[in-house]
Amino acid sequence: MVDVAIIGATGYGGIELIRLLDTHPLVRLSYLTTETYVGERVCDVYPHLTHIELPLEKLDPTAVARCDFALVAIPAGLSMELVPGFLDAGVRVIDISPDFRLRDPLVYKHWYSLEHTSADLLQQAVFGVPELHREAIKAADLVAAAGCYSTSALLSLAPLIADKLIDTTDIIVDGKTGLSGAGRTSLKLPFHFPEADEDTSAYAVGGHRHVAEMVQELAELAGGDRVTITFTPHLVPMSRGILTTSYVSPRDGIDTAALYDCFAAHYADEPFVHFLPQNTWPHTKWTAGTNHCFLAADIDEPSGRAIIVSAIDNLCKGYAGQMVQCLNLMIDADETTGLSMPAVYP
């Protein structure tokens, strides 16, 4: 049993962590922090978590220090202030903020308009997508879990780039997300039900921050080739789920069979990534509440472009589930521990 602290336990990501860890056989939820609900219990804030009477406390680093793991679910900028102290106290950290995802502090500053105050940790932080960095995660003290869009896009593109099947400078990712990604703390007009209901729209066109981590991770796989990605996220009227549709240019001679062989080979042993048979395309609904990713691909005639569609649950494989998957690796447990439930469908 490991003792786990959740730093930022009352947002949607925080309670998704609680949902997954509450019944995890190897984890003891030992310490939950909150900014907003100090002194209340989880079940006070979320009445449906009726049996989870754990107290919510104001962050106290000495209490974190008594834990084996800190799962950090707080905004960009705050995480980099706290994580060094956790590590110094011997606590292993899985951070879902973007603070330790980008290895270059200048890139971080460009996208987040913040000077990085713990840049020395960036080289040791491991980017938290197990399908890309499984061995490094096992040994890591600091895992920077990937963003939701990035996870979906990287799982769609990494095999093709690793196997040099596509042009790395001609990549388009069109993302569609449900609104739980907006979180619970900040109530903004675009997430007001009457505005978002029955609506689809693009946002952050030409400038969503997740593109930086996509590029970093794919560039590493591309072995020196330049990577450029055009990424456009969209809001669609649902709570959970991300679908990314990626458009790429296969290199000469790469046909559908090659595409299939590539995905099949890379994901044959992955417990959470499922490459679908031809003409079956993923649905976000298939992933609701689970850590699974469903992937499909084909080549469009006559443009010759390859299209890869990927579906995940943005709060699970795109957030808390991925953190738990990393945690399982870090404690040498079966990777699927606590993550084996099927989707709540329909």
Write the CA distances from 224 to 24, 100, 285, 326, integer angstroms: 41, 22, 37, 28
The distance of closest approach from Cβ of residue 176 to a copy of itself in the complex, given in angstroms and rounded to an integer, is 5
CB 343 within 8 A of CB 289: yes
The type of residue at 162 is A
148: helix, strand or coil:
helix
Which residues, other chains included, contact 260 with Cβ-Cβ below 8 Å and sequence gap of 6+? 275, 278, 297
CA–CA dist 47, 2 (Å, integer): 27
Minimum CB separation of residue 146 from a copy of itself in Å reads: 20
User: How near is the Cβ of 307 to a copy of itself at its closest, in Å?
Assistant: 6
State the nearest-atom distance from the C-beta of 243 to a copy of itself, in Å: 5
Helix (H, G, I), strand (E, B) or coil at 222: helix
Strands 92-95 and 142-145: parallel
Backbone angles phi, psi at 292, to 5 degrees: -85, 150
Helix (H, G, I), strand (E, B) or coil at 24: coil
CB 165 within 8 A of CB 250: yes
Is 326 catalytic? The answer is no
Going by the DSSP 8-state scheme, the letter that residue 41 receives in this structure is B
Based on CB atoms, which residue is closest to a copy of itself, 138 or 274? 274
How far is 16 from 312, CA to CA, in rounded Å?
15
Least Å distance, CB 255 to a copy of itself, is 13
Question: Of the two residues 42 and 122, which places its CB atom closer to a copy of itself in the complex?
Answer: 42
| Cβ-based nearer residue to a copy of itself, 106 or 205 | 205
State which residue, 121 or 235, has the beta carbon closest to a copy of itself. 235
Torsion of CA 295, 158, 113, 108, to 10 degrees: 150
Which entry of 43, 67, 148, 316 is annotated as an active-site residue? Answer: 148
Residue closer to a copy of itself by CB (options 140, 296) is: 296
What residues contact residue 187 under an 8 Å CB cut-off, 6+ apart?
Answer: none
**End-to-end Cα, the chain, rounded Å:** 34
Positive or negative, the CA dihedral 279, 282, 286, 290 is positive
Give the Å distances, CA to CA, from 109 to 95, 142, 229: 18, 20, 19
| Catalytic residue annotation | 148
